Amino acid sequence: MNRLVLLMSTSLPLKDPVPIFSLVLFIILLAPIILRKFRIPSIIGLILAGMLIGDHGFKIIEKGSIDLFGKAGLLYIMFLAGLELDMTEFRKNRYRSMVFGAFTFLIPLVMGFLVCSYVLHFNFMATLLVSSMFATHTLVAYPLASRLGVTKNEAVTVAVGGTIITDTLVLLILAIITGAEAGNLNAQFWTRLSISLAVFAAIILWLMPMLGRWFFKKIKDDKTSHFIFVLALVFAAAFLAELAGVEGIIGAFLAGLALNQLIPHTSPLMNRIEFVGNALFIPFFLISVGMLVDLRVLLRGPEALIIAGALTGMALSSKWLAAFFTQLTFRYSPTQRNVIFGLSSAHAAATIAVILIGFNMGIVDENVLNGTVVLILITCLVGSFVTEGAARKLAIQDAADKPELPDQPERILIPVANPERIEALLDFAVMIKDAHAPTPIYPLAVVQDNEEAKERIHLTNKMMEKAVIHAAATESEVQVVTRIDLNVSDGIARAAKELMVSDVILGWTDKTSTTDRLFGNIFGTTLDNVLQSVWETVYVCNFQHPLSTTKKMVLVMPHNTEYEIGFSHYIGKMFVLAKQAGARLLIFCNNKTQQVVTAWMEQAKMSVDVVFKQFDTIEDFLILSREVTRDDLVVTVTARKGTLSYHAFMESIPAKVSRHFKDNNVILLYPEQRAVDFIEAGLQPEDLTLAPIQEQLANLNKLGRAVKRIFKGPKK
């Protein structure tokens, strides 16, 4: 009874964090569901809910109660924008981002200066402050573009890049205005600001990637620690930005750029980051934006209406002109222009920060503050509606432009013997898998047919649970397959035929224990048998470190590999792997192969940072080792005996790889090739090759070179 009386006597606004948190969570749950029925974006629903529960609505939650989560949500939006940015596209379009950044900064600044000076009759400082407020914008609608899958479109990339440019310039102007008002605008102020920004940028863009790469290598399996580590870096970067004299959103965005290459878009960590942000932090931010809006200011006289209308009209028209001139400059489609306008038209975080600082310093009055709050509401509504409509059209256009899937769908088979290697092999499979392929990934366990088969099936199923749990974290579909066969290689071959697989991923280890007997001697009988019965693409993987820590991917391609039937398939997978790992691609090949790869890149429109190096003596791995560092991934393309690109020296490649790159992540790749038909009974693959003769000739050639060096003597 006492509890009921206490509950009924609870006064509004709520002060206990438990009911506050509970109420906000119900709003996050129900607002999108209800407004979806009216075809209203969920972002608008959260902003409207914030208006209703805030100080200017029913006063259910007082101002400041959710500021912590609201600020975290703003930083999270900027961090995700940097993290999801396609760095290759960003580097390729950096000049376009600069051009849009210049347009979206200068056009609103100049137009706003004219309106504030000659229409609203503000003084110089107020004019500079308000016109700079027009130039800033917040990526409130970015989650809509992300949900519709168009974040890699050039228009979105340019809009995000332009956002950070214009916001940085605006916040620098704000720092100058505050310095001028405080009377500190002297040489010491400029020196301190320049040095602090330089130190801040060096810490974020140079030290943070080094720290992240070291942490992910040392702490491999603790997924919770990975998430907490990333979150800590984001807020530390925001704090360092404020110490440097700029807003924290700049630090959060740069933290996303710094960690971009360390967190693949298909990784479990990326999935956790997006899930927590979209489910919790970002909705809190949108609700906190709504709590700032006070519609009653429109009833306080014509001056408030005039200022609110002028500010809102100027903000939307200037941003539309910036998007329009960007469209004309780069010949974008009207849909791309609308995406750019929708993303850059919403004013929220930086805008309210600029005006609040000006209001607290007495530069602008209450009418400007209230007019800005109305501007925030209207621009967030317009930006959300425009972005969702344009992004939906853009997604449909992008889907229509994609090539049709082949008749035989992609199927990836992962034979597993060592539980410790399941996660690394699954991560590799998820990274190279076509995101649009409808088929699952197939982890395979082969149990030898003997008296212990029943017990081993039970143990194998338990081992496979780890694969299922790990795959669930990446939202990838997995279908576990178990086979009983006389030997492992036959079980793999039969499963590959039954499932009609396109790729087989094998683990490589030097262990010879019972659980590792499948791949203990990977270059022995088992692998030979698999290669002679499975003619699809086979990857033999030795992963010492997480693939996300890869700086450079070195791809070694032999002569005639471009003539193999699986060439297009595996080269596409390697480009996708480089893109997902955020690594630049260094390809060693001859002139003919380079021409074919270049033509394939142009046709496939792959945006990967690629460098070619001439390499006519693929057997000389000493030359390769000079180009490879500890953080590089080495992929060597080899071939089965009797095929087009097979050479005698390929027999020694595994040993050379083990010797020269023992500390690196290594993949031996056997492309899809035509099966060799044997007509005579008892005839073996090696009987149809000139390998023995070629090996002897190669040995004689090496011996001849050694003798020449001996007789030539040392150089004088």
- Backbone φ and ψ for 589, nearest 5 degrees, come out as -165, 175
664 residue type, one letter? N
How many angstroms separate the CA atoms of 579 and 464, rounded?
Answer: 29
Task: Give the count of beta carbons closer than 10 Å to the beta carbon of residue 305.
Answer: 16
pLDDT, residue 619, reads 64
How many angstroms separate the CA atoms of 138 and 343, rounded?
Answer: 8
Claim: this prediction has a pTM higher than 0.85: no
How many angstroms separate the CA atoms of 686 and 665, rounded?
Answer: 30
User: Encoding tokens for residue 483?
Assistant: 């086979």
pLDDT, residue 8, reads 43
What are the tens digits of pLDDT across the range 306-326? 888 888 888 899 999 999 999
What are the tens digits of pLDDT across the range 273-301? 888 888 888 888 888 877 877 777 667 66
- Nearest CA to 583 out of 118, 175, 213 is that of 213
| pLDDT band at 35; cut points 50, 70, 90 | confident
| Mean pLDDT, residues 370-385 taken together | 83
How many angstroms separate the CA atoms of 189 and 245, rounded?
Answer: 11
Q: Is 617 or 427 the better-scoring residue by pLDDT? A: 427
pLDDT at 504 > cutoff 50: yes
How far out from the chain centre does Cα 499 lie? 31
pLDDT, residue 519, reads 38
Give residues with Cβ within 8 angstroms of 31, minimum separation 6.
Answer: 42, 45, 46, 48, 49
Length of the chain measured in residues: 716
pLDDT at 538 > cutoff 90: yes
What are the tens digits of pLDDT across the range 456-470? 776 777 767 767 777
- Nearest CA to 422 out of 470, 462, 352, 372 is that of 470
pLDDT, residue 715, reads 47
Instruction: Note the maximum CA span of the chain.
Output: 106
User: Encoding tokens for residue 84?
Assistant: 């999801």
What are the tens digits of pLDDT across the range 224-271? 889 999 999 999 999 998 888 777 877 888 898 889 888 887 788 888
From 7-11, 178-182, 233-237, the region with the lowest mean pLDDT: 7-11
Average pLDDT, rounded, for the chain: 80
- Backbone φ and ψ for 613, nearest 5 degrees, come out as -135, 135
pLDDT, residue 683, reads 46
User: Encoding tokens for residue 130?
Assistant: 């308000």
What are the tens digits of pLDDT across the range 79-112? 887 887 777 777 777 888 899 999 999 999 999 8
DSSP annotation of 123: -
Strands (E), 57-208: none
How many angstroms separate the CA atoms of 617 and 558, rounded?
Answer: 9
pLDDT, residue 699, reads 61
- Nearest CA to 252 out of 172, 343, 139, 152 is that of 139
| Mean pLDDT, residues 484-501 taken together | 86
| CA quadruple 285, 288, 290, 292: dihedral sign | negative
| Mean pLDDT, residues 388-392 taken together | 87
| pLDDT band at 511; cut points 50, 70, 90 | very low
Query: Is residue 326 a contact partner of residue 103, using CB atoms and an 8 Å limit?
Result: yes
How many angstroms separate the CA atoms of 312 and 296, rounded?
Answer: 16
What are the tens digits of pLDDT across the range 623-633? 778 888 888 99
Tell me which range, 193-202, 345-354, 502-511, 688-697, is most confidently predicted by mean pLDDT. Answer: 193-202
CA-CA distances (angstroms) from residue 37 to 34, 45, 280, 384?
6, 11, 22, 16
| H or E stretch at 197 | helix 187-202
pLDDT, residue 413, reads 92
From 114-123, 285-294, 454-463, 646-655, the region with the lowest mean pLDDT: 454-463
